């Protein structure tokens, strides 16, 4: 079968994608997160700015934030924040919705304070099919004031499509257009693609040329400039499983070759590759090195 080439063309020299991983913050971002990043030789990292499974919004430590920013600058490491897993801006539960709006605003504020380039938020679920129309309206009402308050130097809000289960607001990539419409195509809105999620949702990135075609589709839907981050994960489960279970690169159902297509695709012009795979420093160090090897050999 002949090689499937991307239809996306760029008119500037495409920088190589930065490569890194989600890193722990226990022990402090300025110490533990940076230490982890150095150990695995990361060029970009993702962190939680608060408890990923709770609504608590701790007060920042300005001294620690400054130390973290300075170390990232000295090491040339780009930073991204992942919002709590509880965030669901489409929820019919008033408490969940209100907490989700507050958590999104908080994460963006923390992003500004630590110098992050983007804040990832899951696209969420309407939970109940009858709530779908209201979900889009409440997303507009809750999130647009946050976006309008952002300055040019503030981080972008990065929408991460989920694995398509239940009443997901973004079951497949095509549904992103509804989210972008709800947020008025605001320039501070970007996309974070998770390769495990998109495979679980039914996009066959495993077949030869499948990753290329899927990324081409994403560019067609959202535009090249909105693609700001790639969660680079293999999948424990088969195509269309609707299950969000990450696996180490090459050890899951997707396999290794599709990630070579990913690294070579023009969509990574703005989008670091962030691992969210099982394991700690040794595993992530090997995977970072593997992706860098792919990057070095791409045409």
φ/ψ of 157, rounded to 5, equals -90, 120
The count of domains in the chain is: 1
Q: How far apart are CA 218 and CA 179, in angstroms?
A: 14
Domain assignment of residue 189, yes or no: yes
Domain assignment of residue 194, yes or no: yes
Q: What is the pTM of this model?
A: 0.95
Domain assignment of residue 9, yes or no: no
* Local confidence band at 7 (pLDDT 50, 70, 90 cut-offs): confident
Q: Residue 147: which CATH number? A: 3.20.20.150
Domain assignment of residue 53, yes or no: yes
* pLDDT single digits (tens) 103-132: 999 999 999 999 999 999 999 999 999 999
- Helices 62-75/94-114 angle, 10° precision: 60
Cβ-proximal residues to 56 (8 Å cutoff; 6+ apart), any chain: 50
Domain assignment of residue 7, yes or no: no
Residue 58 CB-density burial (10 A; 0-12 exposed, 13-18 middle, 19+ buried): exposed
* pLDDT single digits (tens) 27-56: 999 999 999 999 999 999 999 999 999 999
Domain assignment of residue 119, yes or no: yes
Name the residue range of residue 63's domain.
Answer: 19-297
């Amino acid at each position: 079968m002949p090689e499937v080439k991307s239809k996306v063309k760029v008119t500037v020299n495409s920088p190589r994608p930065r490569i890194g991983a989600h890193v722990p913050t226990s022990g402090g971002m300025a110490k533990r997160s940076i230490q982890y990043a150095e150990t695995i030789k990361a060029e970009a990292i993702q962190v939680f700015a608060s408890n990923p499974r709770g609504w608590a919004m701790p007060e920042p430590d300005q001294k620690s934030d400054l130390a973290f920013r300075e170390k990232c600058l000295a090491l040339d490491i780009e930073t991204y924040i992942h919002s709590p897993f509880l965030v669901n801006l489409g929820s019919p539960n008033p408490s969940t919705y209100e907490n989700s709006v507050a958590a999104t605003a908080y994460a963006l504020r923390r992003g500004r304070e630590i110098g992050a380039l983007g804040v990832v938020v899951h696209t969420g679920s309407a939970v109940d099919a009858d709530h779908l129309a209201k979900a889009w309206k409440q997303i507009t009402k809750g999130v647009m004031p946050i976006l309008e308050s952002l300055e040019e130097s503030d981080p972008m809000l990065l929408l991460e499509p989920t694995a398509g289960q239940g009443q997901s607001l973004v079951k497949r990539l095509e549904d992103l257009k509804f989210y972008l419409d709800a947020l008025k195509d605001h320039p501070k809105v970007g996309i974070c693609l998770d390769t495990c999620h998109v495979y679980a949702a039914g996009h066959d990135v495993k077949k030869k040329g499948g990753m290329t075609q899927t990324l081409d589709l994403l560019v067609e839907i959202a535009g090249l400039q909105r693609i700001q981050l790639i969660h680079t994960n293999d999948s424990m489960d088969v195509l269309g499983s609707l299950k969000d279970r990450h696996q180490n690169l090459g050890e899951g159902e997707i396999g290794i070759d599709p990630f070579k297509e990913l690294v070579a695709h023009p969509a990574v012009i703005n989008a670091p590759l962030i691992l969210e795979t099982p394991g700690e420093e040794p595993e992530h160090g090997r995977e970072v090195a593997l992706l860098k090897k792919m990057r070095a050999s791409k045409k």
